Amino acid sequence: MVASELFKKAKKIEIATRRLVDERLAGQYHSVFKGRGLVFSDVRPYVPGDDVRVIDWNVSARMNAAHVKQFVEERDRTVNLMIDMSASGVFGTGAHSKRELAAELAAMVAFSAIKNNDRVGLFLVTDKVERYVPPKKGRRHVMRVVSEILSFVPASRTTNLGAGLDFLGKIARRRSVVFLVSDFLSDGWDRPMRIAAQRHELVPVVLADPVELALPRVGLVEFEDLETGEVVSFDTSGANAVTYQRRLAGQAAARDQVLRRMNLDTVVVRTDQPYVDALVAFFKARARRMAHG
């Protein structure tokens, strides 16, 4: 992708996603992710019902009247975007390829983050972390994140999300929110995710394409395995299609079962449906769950 085309595409994503953040996610992002803790803000006069444990005795003595400390939530938070950039991300029969969808989702999360003064980091993963952008704040940084995703050309075609999670564990010492964007149809990611979830707040974002959910019966077609490059002819109306569909459904069911067992709030986004609806539904569901403890 040439520089001018890249800039136009990144700018288009910025305009669309910033508007969506303002219109659809206002306040929701802030409410569903906890800050790092409480920090002292100010003191005020004591009123009946205040917790006596927060009385500031030094100020009270000086003012000759009881005063209590006030605290605010420290919102200085890091949001990491870890995106599966293996060859399967090129696939997409809906309005977007999985990679284009990942770029727009990442932009929406990133603009929500900087609107709340959070830092945003980026991990682009194949069978290893091929590109890492350390967390920073600001619009210019988010535009760099979006551009990195759009312009990225993977050196490897295969997937190993575990390698990305291991890398996260080595360099991210403080707790962060991690949006992990993938179709999760590869193997070996469940154990590294369990380990990462002990330190970080993980949000799996599952990218799905309608063809992966229901193979259309259109006769003989050629399929390319995007991660091996192998091309095979396949009769989508034949008996093998039923076997293929069952295998794919089994993979998806196994993936969903693992994610449920981890008890992680998960976002499922399809390439043929508006991604913003899925993201808004996720924030609302998470807010309800947090409100009920």
pLDDT at 167: 96
Which range, 76-90, 220-234, 265-279, is most confident? 265-279
- Rounded CA-CA distance 276/108 in Å is 9
Is residue 92 very low, low, confident or very high in pLDDT (cuts 50, 70, 90)? Answer: very low
pLDDT at 204: 96
Cα 111 vs. chain centroid, distance in angstroms?
12
Calculate ∠ Cα 75-81-83, nearest 5°: 170
pLDDT at 251: 84
- Rounded CA-CA distance 20/276 in Å is 8
pLDDT over 60 at 241, yes or no: yes
pLDDT at 74: 58
pLDDT in tens, 29-68: 777 776 555 556 789 999 998 888 889 999 999 999 999 9
φ/ψ (deg, to 5) at 67: -130, 150
Number of DSSP helices (H) and strands (E) in the chain, helices first? 10, 10
- Rounded CA-CA distance 82/54 in Å is 40
Average pLDDT over residues 235-247: 70
pLDDT at 203: 95
Is residue 234 very low, low, confident or very high in pLDDT (cuts 50, 70, 90)? Answer: low
Asked if 175 and 34 touch (Cβ cutoff 8 Å), the reply is no
pLDDT at 145: 93
* Backbone φ/ψ region at 128: left (φ over 0), alpha (ψ -120 to 50), beta: beta
Closest CA relative to residue 123, chosen from 176, 68, 179: 179
Outline where DSSP puts E strands in 144-200. 177-182
Does this model's pTM top 0.95? My answer is no
Say whether domain 3-31+76-291 belongs to CATH 3.40.50.410: yes
pLDDT at 123: 97
pLDDT in tens, 112-169: 898 888 999 999 999 999 999 999 999 999 999 999 998 888 898 888 999 999 999 9
| Ranges of each domain in the chain | 3-31+76-291, 38-74
pLDDT at 182: 92
Structure tokens at 152: 């990225």
pLDDT in tens, 10-32: 888 888 888 888 877 767 777 77
pLDDT over 60 at 226, yes or no: no
Instruction: With residue 101 as reference, give the H or E element that holds it.
Output: helix 98-115
